[in-house]
Amino acid sequence: MLLTGASFGIGRALALRLGQAGAKLLLAARSAQALETLAGEIKAAGGEARVLPLDLADPAAIDALAARLATDGVVADVVIHNAGKSIRRLITDSLDRAHDFSRTIAVNYLGPVRLQLALLPAMLTKRGGQIVAVSSLGVRLPPAPRWAAYSASKSAFDVWMASARPELAAYGIACTSIYLGLVHTRMSEPTERYRGMPGLTADEAARVICRALVCRPRRIEPWWIRPLRVLAPWCEGTVDRLFRRSLRRELAGRTAQDRRG
């Protein structure tokens, strides 16, 4: 079982749970030292874990990891795409930051796709397994301001998963998409307004993913998402006006602050 983004937050909590359950884990993330510490905890508790430092924005690193597993005869029959990069920024604040978009889509879409394509041949030969995408509720809701980079990249991988699902089902490979709301981790911590909002802990999110591994559903999302998606087209104008009103107030506040400064 290969888990990306394993070093912190949801990935770390999930790795500890899976290790306790007896899973043979391949832990992938950029933070090699944090992975070594995590693997040590898993092994101390009687589990199995192997550390695989990986930057999903580096195609050569992805190819090298896949080649290494193939050489060692290791088949990752379950792949959990948990790693992600979040950016909450207005487009007007990104005019000289094109890397906001290129880096985000590399980590959230292009990297996971390249990794999965490299791992699929062994899964197809084995004719079984599961691909799990840890996604965001934002993918299932009307697009919101500030989330252009993040939501576009997450939506891209969501469409890839939806397209792959019927193709891979013929080989016994299940595809599961999990749409999580706010999870209080170090990724959400910098946004002050999120700190007091209700949300899941990393361990609660890990439990949701564990349920997906056992039940292998097509998707996991809150019950209210489906009726909301039916109503959304009828409310598009209202939602758009609310977004614009909120942004006008914010920009007016910025202008006033700049004048005082």
Beta strands 219-220; 24-29: pairing state: unpaired
Catalytically active residues are: 150
Residue whose C-alpha is closest to residue 51's, from 89, 20, 19, 22: 19
Maximal CA-CA distance, the chain: 66
Residue 73 contacts residue 51 (beta carbons within 8 Å): no
For residue 72, give the DSSP letter: T
What are the strands, taking DSSP E only, across 48-115? Answer: 48-53, 78-81
Cα of 154 vs its chain's centroid, Å: 7
The Cα 114–Cα 142 span in angstroms is 28
